[in-house]
Amino acid sequence: MIAGVAVLCVLSLAAWPSPAQAPAYRAPRTADGKPELSGIWQALNTADWDLEGHAAAAGPVPSLGAVFAKPPGPGVVEGDEIPYLPAMAAKKKENQTNWLKLDPEVKCYLPGVPRATYLPYPFQIVQSQNNILISYEYAGAVRVINMGARTKAPADSWMGWSNGHWEGETLVVDVTSQMEDTWFDRSGNFHSDALHVVERYTPRSADTLNYEATIEDPKVFSRPWKISMPLYRRLEKNARLLEYKCPEFAEELLYGPLRKKPSN
């Protein structure tokens, strides 16, 4: 009897699917049979403060107390270390020290890729057969991903030039020709005009995407490196992008020194 029970237990365990055997999620399809990624999405992490793991820290304005203090985060970099060349690591530290003066986000410049993805604002994906539009709430940034034959950028731009294709369930986007003036986060992580980013958007449930970005820049880094994070669908009633045109908030910072008379 004991032997029979043991055999039944073994058979039942063999019949029960293990997590590794669970079928991968398959997203709904568009009219042309591609995975449907349309929707409003947002990252919920502290990557915009620092891509690498970091502790909580005081904010930039001591008189505000805990308001705008830096939240802690485990980091989104594979291996938790960005592989800077020695001279470039020194520049990163200089950027970090002078964050409030130098960070393009403070000046409301367009964020570039991949930073646009994990700023603390939502963005919207709209699909068509030939192109995919990504519209970002921050500063009204937009970019169009070309899904046809690969094309070349006429010039460098803040949001770069995006060519995409599908690999099964994954949207793969090759981004080149970005302005060298953007940063990766508020901790001074930066790049040169040689930046090359390959993004991967993979549905993992009805309301989550897995986002990966492989970053290559031989002028700044000793090797390519990767970040990854989940993106979450905004599900509240009437979810939509609202207007966040921030240039007017940065006018005094950008143009105040040019005034003939100081403002009161």
Q: What is the pLDDT of residues 184-227, one digit of tens each?
A: 999 999 999 999 999 999 999 999 999 999 999 999 999 999 99
Please check whether residue 263 lies inside any domain of the structure.
no
- pLDDT of 41 reads 98
Give a yes or no: residue 128 inside a domain: yes
> Mapping DSSP to helix (H, G, I), strand (E, B) and coil, where does residue 85 land?
coil
Q: What pLDDT sits at residue 195? A: 98
Q: DSSP character for 21? A: G
Flag whether 155 is in a domain: yes
Q: Determine the pLDDT at residue 2.
A: 54
Name the helix (H) or strand (E) containing 3.
Answer: helix 2-15
In a domain, 90, yes or no: yes
Of 112, 107, 170, whose CA–CA distance to 143 is shortest? 112
Specify the DSSP class assigned to residue 115.
H
Residue 6 lies in a domain: no
What pLDDT does residue 253 have? 79
Distance CA 179, CA 244 (A): 22
Strand partners, 144: 133
pLDDT digits (tens, 9 = 90+) for 170-182: 999 999 999 999 9
**Which residues span the domain enclosing 202?**
25-54+72-251
Q: 119 with 47: CB under 8 angstroms?
A: no
pLDDT along the chain (264 residues), means of 10: 49 48 84 96 98 93 87 96 97 95 93 98 95 97 96 96 97 98 97 98 97 98 98 95 89 77 64
Cα angle value 40/44/49 (rounded, 5°): 120
In a domain, 12, yes or no: no
Name the token pair of 38: 């349309």
SS3 content of the chain, % helix, strand, coil (to 5): 20, 30, 50
Within-domain flag for 14: no
Domain membership of residue 108 (yes or no) is yes
Which amino acid belongs to residue 35?
Answer: P
**What DSSP designation does 237 have?**
T
Q: What's the pLDDT at 172?
A: 98
> 136 is written with which tokens?
């970002």
DSSP for residue 119: S
Identify whether the C-beta of residue 214 lies closer than 8 Å to the C-beta of residue 225: yes
Taking a C-beta distance cutoff of 8 angstroms, is the pair 129, 45 a contact?
no
* Overall domain count for the chain: 1
C-alpha distances in Å from residue 103, one per residue of 183, 202, 223: 7, 30, 24
Contacts of residue 261, defined as CB under 8 A and 6 or more positions apart, other chains included, come to none
Assign 3-class secondary structure to 30-77. CCCCCECCCEEEEECCCCCCCCCCECCECCCCHHHCCCCCECCECCCE
Contact 70, 56 (CB under 8 A): yes
CATH code, domain carrying 44: 2.40.128.20
